[in-house]
Chain A
Amino acid sequence: MNFKKPKYEQRFWAYTFLAFPLLLLTVFVFFPIGFAFVVSFYDWNLLIPDKPFVGLSNYIELFQDEVFVKAIKNTIVYTIGVVPTQTFLSLFLAFIMNQKLRGRAFFRTAFYIPAITSSVVTSIIFVWIYSKPGLLNYLLNGAGVESHIDWLTNPSTVLPAIMMLNVWTTSGYFMVSFLAGLQNIPASLYEAAKIDGASQWKQFWKITVPMVRPVTYFVVVMSLIGCFQVFDQIFVMSSGGPDNASTTMSYFVYQNSFKYFRFGFGAASAVVLALLIFTVTAVQKKYFPPDAY
């Protein structure tokens, strides 16, 4: 028997329970999605009451803006540098962790700590590490590599330095995702491979990599979305400098929207970034689906 209350009563309680969450999500998620596009067609400045409709001119201005073009370039370099590195590193670490080694729980905790720590904290620590008399140069010189540069004020090193921080921060988190995936691979596969005399290296490429494909898909998507929107580290470590060498698209959105209060222009740049993210994740889904095997 399945007893149920009358329909009207269920309906009443359902809408009552959902009223507050839906109201908030409408005001702060659903409405803003559409409104972002609307604002991007206006010359909308917080400090100027007059807000004329300007059509596509914000978008046209964006692509003529050298800084924006540089921001796109930086964002792509950042993503291409970080996503494969941290995906491979976290899979590799998970593979090692999945061997029956002593102290596994300890290592897992240690690798995860950067991921749960405030981005501001890790950024500040790395400002010290990357400074001229900081830890990185100290270690390099100790290892016999002469190095006296200030990593964050040098246009050619600032972006790679922040990329390294990003890999360091999130690889532990993704490693735990991979570890969960690895533990679902039947041990019999490895046993069969061992009987056939396959080396560890071969087992890694022929069994582990294909079997964790759904997790890889998840990790790459999360990592892509995170990299495309990288902000905290840029804000704290370099403020986009020197000479916009580390201005990413999200930092560009922030700068124009909330430093110069050019909401229309800022919204347009955010729309371009969102479309870029959509395109890349759609391409990934089409050509590298999670369940191709």
Chain B
Amino acid sequence: MKAIKIQKILFLGILSLMTLIYIGPFLFSISISFNADKNVFDWPIELIPSDMTLDNYKNVWKDLPFGKWLFNSVFITTVQTISNVFFAALAGFTFARLEFPGRKIIFTLLLSSLMIPGIILLVPKFIVLNELSMINSYGGLILPGLVGVTNIFLMKQFFETIPKDLEQAALIDGCSYFRMFWQIFIPISKPALAAVAIYTFQGSWNEFLWPVIVSYTEDMYTLPLGMASLRHELLTDWPLLMAGTIMISLPTLAIFIIFQRYFVQGVSSSGLKG
């Protein structure tokens, strides 16, 4: 029994050390963001700055186009999240419930597209959007991310677990397929829809590669791109940079903490699929 106790202490020790490693960097960046002294490089490095201020958080709005980037990020993320939820549910419903020629082929095609490394699509996507005059525009930033195959797959899987008796009455009453989808399937799918919404939100809010490619002017930057572009200019003002990065992490962090179980479930179901 004593051996088990020692082992427990050892394990807790390892986990606590790892917690410091995983959380420590964020604590230090929070500390720097409140530091009134711009010279954050004086040793010793202290977790609690001797001279604290909120000015850095105010200056982010004043000295940087932070408001504009925030608007862009919020706008793009909102449109992509709503669109993904709606179309993933609609397409998932179609694959799960309707019979039509090509159903299997189309679905297999969709699934196989998941195996394509995204990097190969960059140049052709750019050329297409350039032909449509959508480079450096909301259209170019938003359109390619409106529908996600993984989301369609998740919704199809979910709808297939719903017993078919449920829609029988509606079908006999002559209810249209769209009404059936909207009034029967959507209301009972809240957990699945929430999962799709959360994944899309996180992905869209943190997206970096695509905005780097299509946004040319500062007014079309998203928050991650804006902060990355300052990394070279602002090397002398770490407190300001850290205040900005802390603020853009807050929405994803809040959503993660509130909806933790969706993350854990999502990972576990995709993990078992492999």
**Could you tell me which A residues sit within 8 Å of B by CB distance?**
1-5, 7, 9-11, 13-15, 17-18, 20-22, 24-25, 27-33, 35-36, 39, 46, 93, 96-97, 99, 101-103, 106-114, 116-129, 131, 133-135, 138, 168, 172-173, 176-181, 184, 200, 214-215, 217-219, 221, 225, 228-229, 231-232, 235-236, 250, 253-254, 257-258, 263, 266-267, 270-271, 273-274, 277-278, 290
Contacts and interface: CB of A to CB of B under 8 A. Distances in A.
A113 B253 CA distance: 7
A110 B22 contact: yes
A236 B231 contact: yes
A215 B127 contact: no
A5 B178 CA distance: 13
Contacts of A179: 268
A33 B120 contact: yes
A270 B268 contact: no
A176 B271 CA distance: 9
Contacts of A30: 109, 113
Interface residues of B, number: 98
Interface stretch (B54-62, B189-197, B241-249): B241-249
Contacts of B8: 99, 101
B147 A21 contact: yes
Contacts of A290: 274
Nearest to B44: A138
B91 A17 contact: yes
A18 to B, nearest CB: 6
A39 B267 contact: no
B119 A274 contact: yes
Contacts of B15: 93, 96-97, 101, 103, 107
B40 to A, nearest CB: 8
A118 B228 CA distance: 11
Contacts of B106: 18, 22
Contact of B43 (A110, A118, A138): A138
Contacts of B172: 3
Most A CB within 10 A of own CB, among B123, B213, B270:
B123
B98 A36 contact: no
Dominant secondary structure of chain A at its interface with chain B? helix
A10 B95 CA distance: 11
A135 B116 contact: no
A114 B22 contact: yes
Nearest to A117: B249
15 contacts: A14-B98, A20-B87, A28-B125, A29-B113, A32-B121, A32-B125, A114-B22, A118-B208, A124-B228, A124-B231, A133-B41, A177-B270, A229-B119, A273-B120, A278-B115
A253 B122 contact: yes
A221 to B, nearest CB: 7
A172 B22 CA distance: 9
Contacts of B238: 128
Most B CB within 10 A of own CB, among A97, A121, A273:
A121
Contacts of B50: none
A168 B113 contact: no
B267 A120 contact: no
Interface in B94-123: 94, 98-101, 103, 106, 109-110, 113, 115-123
